Amino acid sequence: MKGSHLVTSDLATILRDDLKLPADGLTPDASLDKAGFDSLAIVELAVLLGDRFGIDISDAEIKSAATLHELDLLIQRRRDER
């Protein structure tokens, strides 16, 4: 699928630029905690995903992602469902 790298790039940009998470922690296998997420960042990410991509992902769904890769896959699935 052609757009699969775009989501990763978009997600990385949001995490770095909007949520101000440290770039060195943004590896695909990083847990959300290790990447620097706190409860506010999770809420902000849910809002940003809705605003930027028109997808609805709940805070609980974001928290349930074990790694950034899993979060990325969740976002991809939601974008594909639109």
Task: Say how far apart CA 15 and CA 78 lie, in whole Å.
Answer: 18
| Confidence at residue 7, expressed as pLDDT on a 0 to 100 scale | 52
- The per-residue pLDDT for range 32-66, each reduced to its tens digit, is 999 999 999 999 999 999 999 999 999 999 999 99
pTM summary value: 0.86
The percentage of residues in the chain with a pLDDT greater than 70, rounded to a whole number, is 91
Domains of the chain are: 4-81 (1.10.1200.10)
Report, in angstroms and rounded to the nearest whole number, the Rg of the chain calculated over CA atoms: 11
The count of other CB atoms within 10 Å of the CB of residue 54 is: 10
